[in-house]
């Protein structure tokens, strides 16, 4: 755990549910005055005062404004410290989810002494009170933002401590090695026995291998968490917009027999292999016939540059089709031979057909399942969940830093450099691993992380 300990002196309030109308909304209070404020604005039916309500049991009652007038009938619940999410005294009003109701309930909280919670402040308090570590706090934001089943699963595993345990184990191993080296510094006259030296080098090496393995899955983990950008590109009239519509499942892009139909880029979201994919249709690439088309082509090229995967669409029925500028030698490109309904299966199609090109037809939908399968394979592969452990760019950056420091430490140790020098890098690696779970992180870095959360989380 983080070793942070900071009990806040003020009490915060915010809606825990989203903005807009809903059947029910929840307003949360957390902090030392949460139970007092709740007691002044919630009157349980049956006459028992709110301060005597049992923990974690929903009770029907009246929600009042600060002057004692009824705002709504609803449910109230209290969770006393330390058995709450934040580790502080917490209370919730479950009211009807209209804007006026929620605003009045919040206003009542503020008039009675709470202040508006900042983004992510409930989670930050949970972290500061050692209820969760930083990677778990981040997992809550990921779970709320998860748009597909795979991103939800990854976030849940991180919330349950999957990543924290791995990092804590790696860090523990380095702390052991550091202790052995430190002991040497304290008793400089005693040589570290060769066996212990070898043992420490092996320790470093194993840790490096494990970190490198975690980092190897980052690209796929990132796709699983954040989704991917897949760009449909190719020569004019190859059927890019038709394929875009077929994959999206509706007539989103204009399709005509005239080359140069698509000018601007068009986006839509689909799901492939459990991850959200932003699919982008682009203008056909050729020497532009006018300025608007020229701008469209420039945009298409920009999109290709930013794509995680390019679906290069060629017209299989047109033997004179230009050879693709992008080839499948680039692992980011999947070649689609469209209009395969117009040719016999044995007929030779476009020249230089890459071996792994997929024959498709936007008209008959032939081959589209294979496209989705290949997309999923390229984006997350058959990676086991274990390989998708690192999905957050901040975690990857910390792991890269740790790996670099560790490699320096090992090389210095192998070259019999002074132990003090070795220790600088060992400490660096330990810190970078600690950053992932939030050990000793500076306040301004925490600010930056929690500011990306939404209010009420
Ligand atoms: N037979 C057949 N015709 C297709 C297929 N896909 C597209 N077409 C036709 O090919 C023509 C061009 O299709 P589009 O989808 O507009 O092609 P595009 O690549 O987006 O063209 P630009 O936007 O001009 O670059 C249209 O007449 C489509 O109906 C296919 O799989 N089979
Ligand atoms: Mg088009």
Give the tens place of pLDDT for each residue, 150-175. Answer: 888 889 999 999 899 999 999 999 99
Query: Which CATH code of 3.40.50.300, 1.20.1330.10, 3.40.50.2020, 3.40.50.720 fits the domain covering 227-379?
Result: 3.40.50.300
Distance CA 355, CA 360 (A): 14
SS3 32: coil
Task: Name the segment(s) of the chain with CATH classification 3.30.1360.120.
Answer: 12-133
Contact 217, 383 (CB under 8 A): yes
Task: Name the segment(s) of the chain with CATH classification 3.40.50.300.
Answer: 227-379
Give rounded-to-5 percent helix, strand, coil for the chain: 45, 15, 40
Left (φ > 0), alpha (ψ -120 to 50) or beta: where does 54 sit?
beta
Residues in contact with ligand 1 by the CB-under-6-Å rule are 236-242, 255-257, 259-262, 283-284, 338-339, 341-342, 361-363
pLDDT of residue 358: 92
Contact 114, 11 (CB under 8 A): yes
- Higher per-residue pLDDT: 353 or 180: 180
Residues written for the chain:
457
Encode pLDDT of 20-51 as tens digits: 899 999 999 999 999 999 999 999 998 888 88
Residue having the nearest C-alpha atom to atom 3 of ligand 1 = 339
**Helix (H) or strand (E) run with residue 179 in it:** helix 162-186
Distance CA 105, CA 38 (A): 10
Task: Name the segment(s) of the chain with CATH classification 1.20.120.430.
Answer: 139-217+389-437
Structure tokens at 57: 């049991």
**214 C-alpha to ligand 1 centroid (Å):** 43
Tell me the HSE value of 210 on the side-chain side, using a 13 A CA sphere.
17
Contact 326, 240 (CB under 8 A): no
12-133, CATH topology level? Gyrase A; domain 2 (3.30.1360)
Minimum-distance ligand 1 atom for the alpha carbon of 313: 19
**287 C-alpha to ligand 1 centroid (Å):** 19
Ligand lying nearest the CA atom of residue 260: 1
Mean pLDDT of 270-288: 89
Residue having the nearest C-alpha atom to atom 7 of ligand 1 = 239
Residue 81 has pLDDT above 60, yes or no: yes
Q: Residue 196 burial by CB count (10 A; 0-12/13-18/19+): exposed, middle or buried? A: middle
Nearest to 226 by CA among 166, 300, 323, 150: 150
The CATH architecture that domain 139-217+389-437 belongs to is Up-down Bundle (1.20)
Q: Show Cβ contacts of residue 219 under 8 Å, excluding neighbours closer than 6 positions.
A: none
Mean pLDDT across the chain, nearest whole number?
88
Would you give the distance in Å from CA 134 to the centre of its chain? 14
User: How would residue 5 be classed by pLDDT, with cut points 50, 70 and 90?
Assistant: very low
Minimum-distance ligand 1 atom for the alpha carbon of 254: 16
**47 C-alpha to ligand 2 centroid (Å):** 69
Ligand lying nearest the CA atom of residue 336: 1
Lowest mean pLDDT among 10-19, 236-245, 268-277: 268-277
The best mutation among 265, 337, 362, 371 to test binding of ligand 1, ranked by most ligand atoms within 8 Å of the C-beta, falls on: 362
Ligand lying nearest the CA atom of residue 361: 1
pLDDT of residue 193: 67
Distance CA 409, CA 406 (A): 5
Residue 305: CB atoms within 10 Å: 9
Residue 331 has pLDDT above 80, yes or no: no
Ligand lying nearest the CA atom of residue 259: 1
Name 22's bridge partners.
97
Structure tokens at 216: 């190897």
Contact 237, 245 (CB under 8 A): no
Distance CA 189, CA 187 (A): 6
User: How would residue 457 be classed by pLDDT, with cut points 50, 70 and 90?
Assistant: confident
Structure tokens at 234: 């190719």
User: How would residue 1 be classed by pLDDT, with cut points 50, 70 and 90?
Assistant: very low
pLDDT of residue 351: 52
Contact 77, 60 (CB under 8 A): no
Distance CA 361, CA 171 (A): 53
Minimum-distance ligand 1 atom for the alpha carbon of 262: 23
Residue having the nearest C-alpha atom to atom 32 of ligand 1 = 339
Residue having the nearest C-alpha atom to atom 8 of ligand 1 = 239
SS3 399: helix
Encode pLDDT of 333-382 as tens digits: 999 999 999 987 655 555 556 667 899 999 999 999 999 999 988 888 76
Residue having the nearest C-alpha atom to atom 21 of ligand 1 = 237
Mean pLDDT of 414-432: 91
Residue 64 has pLDDT above 60, yes or no: yes
């Amino acid at each position: 755990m983080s070793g942070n300990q900071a009990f806040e002196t003020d009490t915060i309030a915010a809606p825990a549910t989203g903005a807009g109308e809903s059947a029910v909304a929840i307003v949360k209070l957390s902090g030392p005055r949460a139970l007092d404020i709740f007691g002044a604005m919630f009157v349980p039916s049956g006459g028992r005062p709110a301060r005597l309500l049992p923990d974690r049991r929903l009770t029907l009652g009246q929600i009042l404004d600060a002057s004692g007038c009824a705002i709504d009938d609803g449910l109230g619940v209290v969770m006393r410290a330390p058995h709450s999410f934040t580790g502080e005294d917490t209370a919730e009003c479950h009211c009807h989810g209209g804007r006026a109701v929620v605003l009045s309930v919040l206003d009542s909280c503020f008039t009675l002494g709470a202040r508006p919670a900042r983004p992510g402040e409930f989670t930050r308090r949970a972290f500061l009170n050692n209820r969760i570590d930083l990677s778990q706090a981040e997992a809550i934001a990921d779970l709320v933002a998860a748009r597909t089943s795979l991103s939800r699963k990854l976030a849940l595993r991180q919330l349950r401590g999957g990543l924290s345990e791995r990092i804590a184990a790696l860090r523990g191993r380095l702390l052991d090695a550091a202790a052995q080296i430190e002991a040497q510094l304290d008793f400089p006259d005693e040589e570290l026995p060769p066996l212990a030296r070898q043992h420490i080098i092996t320790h470093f090496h194993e840790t490096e291998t494990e970190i490198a393995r975690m980092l190897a899955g980052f690209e796929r983990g990132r796709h699983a968490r954040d989704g991917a950008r897949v760009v449909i590109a190719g020569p004019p009239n190859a059927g890019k917009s038709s394929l875009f519509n077929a994959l999206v499942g509706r007539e989103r892009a204009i399709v005509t027999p005239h080359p140069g139909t698509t000018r601007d880029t068009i986006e839509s979201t689909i799901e492939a292999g459990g991850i959200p994919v932003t699919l982008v249709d682009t203008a056909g690439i050729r020497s532009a016939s006018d300025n608007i088309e020229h701008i469209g082509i420039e945009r298409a090229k920009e999109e290709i540059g930013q794509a995680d995967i390019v679906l290069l669409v060629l017209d299989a029925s047109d033997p004179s089709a230009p050879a693709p500028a992008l080839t499948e030698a680039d692992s980011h490109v999947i070649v689609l031979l469209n209009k395969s309904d117009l040719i016999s299966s044995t007929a030779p199609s476009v020249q230089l057909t890459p071996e792994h090109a997929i024959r498709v037809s936007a008209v008959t939908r032939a081959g589209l399942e294979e496209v989705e399968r290949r997309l999923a394979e390229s984006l997350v592969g058959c990676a086991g969940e274990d390989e998708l452990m690192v999905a957050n760019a901040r975690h990857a950056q910390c792991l890269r830093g740790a790996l670099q420091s560790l490699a320096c430490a090992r090389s210095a140790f192998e070259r019999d450099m002074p132990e003090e020098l070795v220790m600088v890098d060992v400490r660096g690696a330990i810190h970078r691993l600690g950053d992932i779970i939030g050990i000793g992180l500076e306040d301004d870095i925490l600010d930056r992380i929690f500011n990306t959360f939404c209010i009420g989380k």
